[in-house]
Amino acid sequence: MSAIIKFRCSGVGKLMTEPRSKSEGPLSVGAKTYVRELAAQAIFGVDFEIDGKALAKGIECEDESIALYNRVYGRALVKNTERKTDEFLTGESDLPDGDSVTDIKTAWSVATFPLCEDDIASAQRTLYQWQLRAYMRLWNKPRARLAYCLVDTPERLIGYEPLPLHVVSHIPEHLRVTVCMEIERDAALEALMIEKIKLARLYYADVIRDFDRTHGIAPNREWCDEGATA
């Protein structure tokens, strides 16, 4: 099993939290937890991401959200399907566009649609910021933005929630797109991101190595088979 990992742009922000004390080392407890989760996924060949309703809507309605964004901003952008990878990162930017990249998020409902950047939780904004910085590096763009779109939720996903939270096509389109953040590429922050990735890679390799050392040879099972019947 390879102990070399390339981090997804969508997850790299989880590495960037600063340790609360020197005893944590160069990576925070949260960053180490995330790295161990990635190691477990690699070891067992299972993606731990839970396919919830909000995620399902984001995937299913992505094209509709992009179309809404295009209409509001007078663009004709097409969803990118190219995955870019460098030595450290891998990802698919939604909309590379001239000198920028735009990442589209589809809101679950009216209740979760942000009116402005402050409506996005601080921790989530941090994850989005580093995701955009990773995209700027991979696509070599000087600018990036995040756009939230509000479109109708597929009926089968709504469940028992009130329909007015999910049926939104009657609302003027320009009210249903919020550009939540626009950032510029920053060499110092990008260098910090790469440094954290290097540290996370070392920790990931340690986790894989320790697992191989302790699990590489199947244990003698005679002790637990005593008295067992076929």
Asked if residue 2 has pLDDT above 60, the reply is: no
Across the range 103-131, mean pLDDT stands at 96
Is the CB of residue 107 less than 8 Å from the CB of residue 150?
yes
Q: Name residue 191's amino acid.
A: A
- Interval 148-187: pLDDT, tens: 999 999 999 999 999 999 999 999 999 999 998 999 999 9
Q: What is the mean pLDDT of residues 9-24?
A: 90
Q: What is the dihedral of CA 63, 67, 70, 72, to 10 degrees?
A: -130
The per-residue pLDDT for 224 is 38
Answer whether residue 50 shows pLDDT above 90: no
pTM: 0.89
Q: What is the mean pLDDT of the segment spanning 37-64?
A: 90
CB 113, CB 176: distance < 8 Å: yes
Residue 86 has pLDDT above 70, yes or no: yes
* pLDDT mean across residues, the chain: 91
Domains in the chain, start-ordered, CATH in brackets?
7-211 (3.90.320.10)
Q: Where residue 217 falls among pLDDT bands split at 50, 70, 90?
A: low
**Cα 75 to the center of its chain, rounded Å:** 25
pLDDT at 20: 85
Q: How far apart are CA 9 and CA 194, in angstroms?
A: 12
CB contact at 8 A, 165 and 65: no
